[in-house]
Structure 1
Amino acid sequence: MQTPKLLLTSLGLVGLLTSLIPDSLIKTAFKQAEQQTRLLLTDVAAVSQTSSKPTLVSPRSLDEKGALQLVAARDWTSGFFPGELWYLYEYTGQKEWADQARLYTAKLESEKMNAGTHDMGFKLYCSYGNGYRLTGDKAYRDVIVQGAKTLIKRFKPTAGIIRSWDHHKEVWQSPVIIDNMMNLELLFAATRLTGDSTFYRIAVTHARTTMKNHYRPDHSSYHVIDYDTLTGKVLKKNTHQGYSHESAWARGQAWGLYGYTLCYRETRDPQFLKQAEAIARYMLSHPHMPSDLIPYYDFDAPGIPNEPRDVSAATVMASGLYELSTYSKNGAQYRTKADQVMTNLAKQYVSPVGQNHGFILLHSTGSKPQNSEVDVPIIYADYYFLEALLRSKKLNEKKSLY
């Protein structure tokens, strides 16, 4: 494996040879996204009309037969489709997308009181957070703040963590998954909106504890750390959705990269920037990273190169790298890599228009060990793809991402 110094040198060489994503690619990608999303809206409506479950509110993926799968508001993925609609509105400025975004965002309001989940950020910040950013609607602000108040009920002060799962209590006492780094954005937002630093302090504490206990010396991450909440002791270190407990599950690495980058944005604490850079180096220099930079579902999967890719890991990584590029002294190199990911996704991993019920990207993997959502479209891949496209566009225009 390359050392970080050698990696940065090679990245620099690539940066000199590779141009930025052209506006034409971004324009084409958003045009395709609009076409696909109109189809998805039609198919969501059709499934909703025939379903015996009136509580289904958002599309998530396709099943093994290719049928569209919808989820209830309580599902951790329910906020991505409203967020995708907000991103289409942000890019186009068209009322059509604002109207649809408002409609699908409203379906999630009840989740602001759901203290049985850590996924408030995924559900409410991707939906209401983007809605508030783009419209200034005070009702959206109130949902964000209430969602944050609900989330911090899961904070365990002795262990210094926000509890993730409540299920499988016979396996874990108080599990924390690396994904939870993404939900901290909601807490940082709540402090900005209210002036109450409680949310901020809890977010920072969780991030520091996760950095201490989730990461190995090579800066790869476990998926699940189990804590004794009375003593703060680490009980188990597991990787539930990757190949093995000691392997590097690709999307988990991407969650960490993105999560520590946003933590640096909100705190300007150099340890968070250092951590994000270390994760980026680990991912980009890994000998099992494919040449097109679309990771296999796990960097240590034994059947590589005959293992499924995870496009969702690629989109999260690319979006995180774009933001990291604005903070790091090696920013040009990180941006070049993100551009390469996005170019390859746009050219090789998009769904043909009119197919796959309107999902934008193909070849994501939810959980290979459970044989769940393997090599299918998944809504969060589409969400972070559009986010990364918007970030690329802003960088091209020399605009701030925030």
Structure 2
Amino acid sequence: MSDRIHATYWLETGDDPARAAETIAGEQSSGTFVALATETPELKARSGARVERLEVLDHSATPSLPTPVRSTRYTRCRLELSWPIENLGACLPTLMATVAGNLFELRCVTGLRITDLRLPPAFAAEYPGPAFGIAGTRRLAGVDRGPLIGTIIKPSVGLSASETAEQVRLLVDGGIDFIKDDELQADGPHCPFDERVRRVMRVVNEAADRTGKKAMVAFNLTGDLDKMRRRHDLVLAEGGTCVMVCLNSVGLVGLRELRRHAQLPIHAHRAGWGWLSRSDALGWDYAPWQVFWRLAGADHLHVNGLRNKFSEPDDSVIAAARSVLAPLMPGAPMTAMPVFSSGQTGLQAHDTYSALGCADLIHTAGGGIFGHPQGVRAGVEALRASWDAAMAGEPLAERARRDAALAGALEFWR
């Protein structure tokens, strides 16, 4: 494996593509806006970013992004750059500044999106990645095969801690595997974190004592570092088996420090992903973005869901999930569990399973469970039945003929 860092971009420029590529490489390593005597050939050879590949794809008469420098033709390219790891060492925050720093702002750039990232083994040596991943999550949730059937407690504001606990009671009595806080619910005055954890875990522990099955609850502890550590310790002390954090809110350092401290799986929410990705001409593909968070310690990563309520197309969702399941590098798989959410029901089970070829995932449905006309238990049973049918290669309608909960769900899953 190369000891260099490699990043691939979709680039659009109104400049000569080769000149634009060199400008980007210089900006992100040894260069500046004018030639300097101190940037010697030796220095550039040692520390400069290298243009490894520049492939012209097509052209456009108009720029994708606003630009002060007008042109009659804008060239779109595939650009691969590499850097010696000696420039930064195995440091994720500096890596972020290197591959996704000032290059987006350059005048010659009218479109730029990071599409791939390959790292040398030093990063795997420095960052241990997920502590639990797929195997550890399955063990703690008591789910040996199939997806973890999950849901989200909403509304994120308004429900008290006791009301939240009552919703959890319905879910655990219905056999749910996984429950998560909403990303907007952390430590608000309506539902304080400490009280929520104690009330919810009382319900979860009582159900576990009765049935032998403990639902995994991802409590959203997003906050300052010291508060996240203390909140984690409370969840652990109360018998909880998962914590949740909003990645873009706490940043790489926040997740890294939580990973150092944590003794529980970290459920990572990507809230804010749209402003990083929604424009095809700017930002990130999911595959390179998730590399940072897996290395920093995320055990579960949200990937949206098929036929979701947002703008992301299905092929992008599946590509994201595959990237989370793929090894990060040879000898360092560090696989995490993809989390499917957003307008999900059992109607997506067959297509999700077919596209991934496995069920190593968490499938969360809110209204798809709570809205079942026969109640929450039937909602859980129907979602699980849809996955059993998918993994058995059985059509959903055929399974519904002998499964009353699934038959009832098909009346409102539309």
Q: TM-score, normalised by structure 1?
A: 0.25
Larger strand proportion of the pair: 2
Higher relative contact order (CA 8 A, sep 6+): 1
Radius of gyration: which is bigger? 2
Larger helix proportion of the pair: 1
